[in-house]
Chain A
Amino acid sequence: MTEDERLKVLEEKAAELRRLAQENGLDLSAELTVLEEKIAELKRALGAGLSAWERVQLARRPDRPSGLAFVQALCPAFYELRGDRMVGDDPALRGGLAKLGEERLAVIFHQRGTTPEEQRQARFGMASAQGYWKARRIMEVAARLGFPILTLINTPGAYPGVQAEAHNIAGAIAACIWQMLRHPRPTLAVILGEGGSGGAVALAAADRVLMLENATYSVISPEGAASILWKDAKEAPKAAEQLKLTAGELATLGVVDEVIPEPSGGAHTDFQATVEAVREAVLRHLAELSALPLDELLRLRYNRYRHVGSANPAH
């Protein structure tokens, strides 16, 4: 059997398992995981790469390393700041002051939760108004102290809820974007998993934007795009292709500055290796940005976003 034929067999097997799981309500996730990893490895060996939809699945894995896990692994010291100083706190969007290498900085990150209880409380990383008002507050603290800002993004999107609206979640997201653009020190965003819509861009108006290899960054979920434009959520894999949401495609579009490679099989298969790759990239970009005089830093940042997406050159 050739590699291609083996791949086809494995994919058929995986499809069969998914069908069985769905029809009979069985939990075959362990078996599926083994198969998916084999498929991913084989594809990599074949140089075929993963499809956009396969990367969406990888980015959403519940065992993908969390924002907090990265902060704890990257930063020998981290002091969490909690609360928006107006009405509350939000476990889905966290942050504080930290040390990373020799650099002191503010870190702001989505937290999807690792246990079912945490996931429920964090609404699977869908941060609410309190989260974004708190993020803005942490950015202001960083500005006063002269600290750079590092954001770690992994969210399906901002939370659509009655309370979120009552507390002006739209205004909170706008305030975060504005504060990021004004920040008088370097700003760096790393998309770790899902970069979902407004909830992601609130933390991504940075000097540099990096993405893990299997992370995604999109204006809308593939399912959302499929149900609006194809009138059928099952067309999500097609929508994922069209949306150009993978790290590689976004690097080509000039939206992302660097793609941080993941271990074969995904970040969850070797967390330590992923952390080291992220650490190296973050320290390198921060060092480059910190070497720039403030007026040059701001000029580059303003030019980056002045022409984004238009025909004029980005820099």
Chain B
Amino acid sequence: MPIRRDKRDRYVEIEVGVPQEPLWVRCEACGELVFRRKLQEHHYVCPRCGAYFFLSAQERVASLVDDGSFQEFPPPKIPEDPLGFRDQVPYPERLNRARQETGLFEAVLAGRAAVGGNPLVLAVMDFRFVGGSMGVGVGEVLRLAMEHAERERLPFVLVVSSGGARVQEGVLSLLQMVKVVRAREALARAGIPYIAILTYPATGGVLASIGSIADITIAEEGALIGFAGPRVIEQTTGERLPPGFQTAKFALEHGMVDAVVPRAKLRDELIRALVVLGEQT
């Protein structure tokens, strides 16, 4: 179960994907009932306490790109359930459920788009899809997106929302870390810029690979940025976590990101970055 911070920076457990009453949404951090329209206007940030709600990949894309400019890439051909993994729920069943709940093929949505008139390749991860975890499917979507950016000489922008590697694909998930770093190396060789936007959560194998090696790294204000999740650290080491640990501000203060930006200003921030990167020739 995911966790998020309340306004005093404590961690609060929340449910994901629980159907909510259509017109009103309860903020899990402060308990306030918020009119859904009002929440939308506030970019899914609680108007009362400032807690960040999850954005679906589709909502995230819409919040960043020029209207109507997003063209999704076709889904890659991948082996489903490469290990034949069975826990309490067979893995193919988990995948199908995630697909139905999110309307996505995998935990990342990628395509061509324009932002402020700048053409680019955009990939957006979605935490609702098996925790935004990276298995072969996510690795393939990211590889193909980066190769498209390389071929078309377009900047590559990735929005990270991932708990890490996908357990059900075993070591093949771990090796997707190598796959996406390899694709990023090809971008570097071609001189194509890469911008990472870290959101809630940017953790585990995704942060320890593609999430940490962009040319420009922007953290959304409500982000959680860290290799190990806060509870894993507490349970393994017994250490008390300092206030503000693994927040966007923490990442900025420890030299991991270039900027911390509120959700409402992310699109403008991205445009500012694209302007200095210039057109790729």
Cβ of A182: which chain B residues have Cβ within 8 Å of it?
185
A171 within 8 A of B: yes
How far, in whole Å, are A201 and B166 apart by their CA atoms in the complex? 15
Question: Quick check: A218 and B171 within 8 Å, CB to CB?
Answer: yes
Cβ of A169: which chain B residues have Cβ within 8 Å of it?
208, 227-228
Q: Of B174, B175, B239, B256, which one neighbours A161 at CB under 8 angstroms? A: B239
Binds A, one of B14-22, B55-63, B136-144, B259-267: B136-144
The A-contacting residues of B in range 197-235, CB under 8 angstroms, are 203-205, 207-213, 226-228, 232-233
How far, in whole Å, are A307 and B140 apart by their CA atoms in the complex? 8
Question: Quick check: B209 and A174 within 8 Å, CB to CB?
Answer: yes
Question: Quick check: A170 and B179 within 8 Å, CB to CB?
Answer: no
Q: How far is the CB of B139 from chain A (nearest CB, A)?
A: 7
Question: Quick check: A310 and B209 within 8 Å, CB to CB?
Answer: no
Q: What 1/0 mask marks residues of chain B from 143 to 180 whose CB sits below 8 Å from any chain A CB?
A: 10000000000000000000001111111111111110
Cβ of B166: which chain A residues have Cβ within 8 Å of it?
219
Q: Of B136, B167, B176, B246, which one neighbours A225 at CB under 8 angstroms? A: B167
Q: How far is the CB of B50 from chain A (nearest CB, A)?
A: 23
B85 within 8 A of A: yes
How far, in whole Å, are A254 and B84 apart by their CA atoms in the complex? 16
Binds A, one of B3-11, B38-46, B74-82: B74-82
- Known interface pairs A160-B236, A310-B76. Does A178 touch B185 (Cβ–Cβ under 8 Å)? yes
B93 within 8 A of A: no
How far, in whole Å, are A239 and B79 apart by their CA atoms in the complex? 21
B241 within 8 A of A: yes
Cβ of B179: which chain A residues have Cβ within 8 Å of it?
305-309
The number of inter-chain residue pairs (CB within 8 angstroms) is 183
Question: Quick check: A168 and B76 within 8 Å, CB to CB?
Answer: no
Cβ of A198: which chain B residues have Cβ within 8 Å of it?
165, 174, 177, 204-205, 208, 227
- Known interface pairs A160-B236, A165-B227, A229-B167. Does A309 touch B212 (Cβ–Cβ under 8 Å)? no
Main secondary structure of the interface of A (DSSP, over half): helix
Cβ of B78: which chain A residues have Cβ within 8 Å of it?
309-311
- Known interface pairs A160-B228, A161-B237, A198-B204. Does A174 touch B174 (Cβ–Cβ under 8 Å)? no
Q: How far is the CB of A208 from chain B (nearest CB, A)?
A: 14
B88 within 8 A of A: yes
Cβ of A306: which chain B residues have Cβ within 8 Å of it?
143, 179, 182-183
Question: Quick check: B83 and A305 within 8 Å, CB to CB?
Answer: no
How far, in whole Å, are A174 and B87 apart by their CA atoms in the complex? 30
Question: Quick check: B172 and A255 within 8 Å, CB to CB?
Answer: yes
B86 within 8 A of A: yes
How far, in whole Å, are A310 and B138 apart by their CA atoms in the complex? 11
B181 within 8 A of A: yes
Cβ of A175: which chain B residues have Cβ within 8 Å of it?
212-213
Q: Of B168, B178, B184, B242, which one neighbours A205 at CB under 8 angstroms? A: B178
Q: What 1/0 mask marks residues of chain A from 199 to 238 whose CB sits below 8 Å from any chain B CB?
A: 0111011000000000001111000010011110000000
Q: How far is the CB of B240 from chain A (nearest CB, A)?
A: 8
Question: Quick check: B171 and A219 within 8 Å, CB to CB?
Answer: yes
Cβ of B208: which chain A residues have Cβ within 8 Å of it?
158, 169-171, 173-174, 198, 202
How far, in whole Å, are A255 and B82 apart by their CA atoms in the complex? 13
Cβ of B176: which chain A residues have Cβ within 8 Å of it?
308-309
21 contacts between A and B (CB under 8 A): A158-B227, A162-B239, A162-B241, A165-B227, A170-B208, A173-B212, A178-B184, A198-B227, A201-B174, A217-B171, A219-B165, A219-B170, A242-B86, A243-B83, A244-B171, A255-B171, A302-B186, A309-B169, A309-B175, A310-B77, A310-B78
Binding site for B on A (CB under 8 A): 158, 160-162, 164-171, 173-175, 177-178, 181-182, 197-198, 200-202, 204-205, 217-220, 225, 228-231, 239, 242-245, 250, 253, 255, 302, 305-311
Pairs A-B, 5 closest by C-beta atoms: A160-B228, A229-B87, A309-B172, A309-B136, A170-B227
* Known pairs A173-B212, A308-B176, A309-B169 / 12 extra A-B pairs, C-beta < 8 Å: A160-B237, A162-B245, A174-B207, A174-B212, A178-B184, A181-B178, A181-B182, A201-B205, A217-B174, A219-B173, A306-B183, A311-B77
